Amino acid sequence: MRKHLMAANWKMNKTTSEAVAFINELLPLLEGVKDTEIVICPPFTLLSEMKRTLKGHDDIELGAQNFFWAEKGAYTGEISAAMLKDVGCSHVIVGHSERRHIFGEKDDDIHKKIDAALAAGLIPILCAGETLEEREAGKAFNVVEKQLENALQGLTFKNRGLVIAYEPVWAIGTGINAKAADAQEMLSFIRQWIRKKYGDQSADTIPILYGGSVKPANIDEFMAEEDIDGALIGGASLHAGDFARIVRSGNDGK
């Protein structure tokens, strides 16, 4: 059985006091949740304080939203995988469409980041997804396959040492989520792709998430689908009540 996973991507939101207030509001709302893995990915500036605030709540893990693949050196403004480990991160988002489209990250950068994250013992949450233009042109499956192929080629990972998030670009932050059946179709395609390339064990253990305008009102539909193991949540993860409701939707494993 694959444990469900709900990951919050706060993007560039929240100050320290807002983050602490969020956690204090969230913890009582999650009482009784035990079968869902929870990862919160705040901005870098909040990681240390979040680690302190979450002391004694090992069931909530910390992730970063980005990092640079080099070990150390003259890279002004960058942060390494070892630094993320040092501050208490277990996960890191890699290849988010905002990194690809706003900051110009290419498949080659993403490959280097996955390699460096795995080497440092971080679990990458690898994002892939097509634009609206690509979907309308019937290229969605090819695009996602190519992104995964380029990101992972030549790399090996342990069971649950990798998370894949399918995030159609047109659904991110737009309020227009993919239909659950369309997301299921893509996630089933991704799972088959993993099975073909990495074998049954990987296919049966790697969590595959859907992301893009997930909210309390639509999460149950997604979680009812066979291959959807959880979600990567942006906007709705900024509100403790909404995030807790989403986490609860996944609280029974698959």
- Residue 144 found at the interface with ligand PGA (CB under 6 A): no
Among 173, 199, 241, 253, binds ligand PGA (CB under 6 A): 173
Q: What is the DSSP letter of 221?
A: H
Report yes or no: 48 and 87 within 8 Å, Cβ to Cβ.
yes
Output 117 or 178, the one with its CB closest to ligand PGA. 178
Pick 202 or 233: Cβ nearer ligand PGA: 233
Which residue in the set 65, 213, 218, 249 belongs to the binding site for ligand PGA (CB under 6 A)?
Answer: 213
Q: How many CA atoms lie within 13 A of 220 on its CB side?
A: 3
Are 171 and 212 in contact, with CB atoms under 8 Å apart? yes
**Residues near 163 by beta carbon (within 8 Å), at least 6 away in sequence:** 5, 7, 91, 123, 124, 125, 126, 206, 207, 208, 209
Q: Cβ closer to ligand PGA: 172 or 180?
A: 172
Task: Pick from 232, 240, 246, 247 the residue near ligand PGA by CB under 6 A.
Answer: 232
Q: Please give the structure tokens belonging to residue 199.
A: 């074998």
Of the pair 53, 234, the CB lying nearest ligand PGA is at 234
By C-alpha distance, which of 101, 102, 126 is closest to 112? Answer: 126
Residue in the structure block whose two tokens are 């991160």: 89
Residue 167 makes contact with ligand PGA by CB under 6 A? yes
List the catalytic residue out of 37, 98, 167, 225: 167
Cβ distance to ligand PGA smaller for residue 130 or 167: 167
Stretch that binds ligand PGA, among 18-26, 69-77, 147-155, 209-217 (CB under 6 A): 209-217
Q: Does 233 bind ligand PGA (CB under 6 A)?
A: yes
Catalytic entry in 96, 98, 105, 134: 96
Region of 30-38, 67-75, 201-209, 233-241 interacting with ligand PGA (CB under 6 A)? 233-241
Decide: is 212 part of the binding site for ligand PGA (CB under 6 A).
yes
Instruction: Count the Cβ atoms, other than its own, within 10 Å of residue 51.
Output: 13
- Give every CB contact of residue 37 below 8 A, 6+ residues apart in sequence: 3, 4, 5, 6, 59, 61, 207, 230
Q: Determine the length of the chain.
A: 254
- Among residue numbers 2 through 41, which ones bind ligand PGA (CB under 6 A)? 9
Catalytic annotation present for 96? yes
Annotated catalytic residues are: 96, 167
Residues making contact with ligand PGA (CB under 6 A) = 9, 167, 172-173, 211-214, 232-236
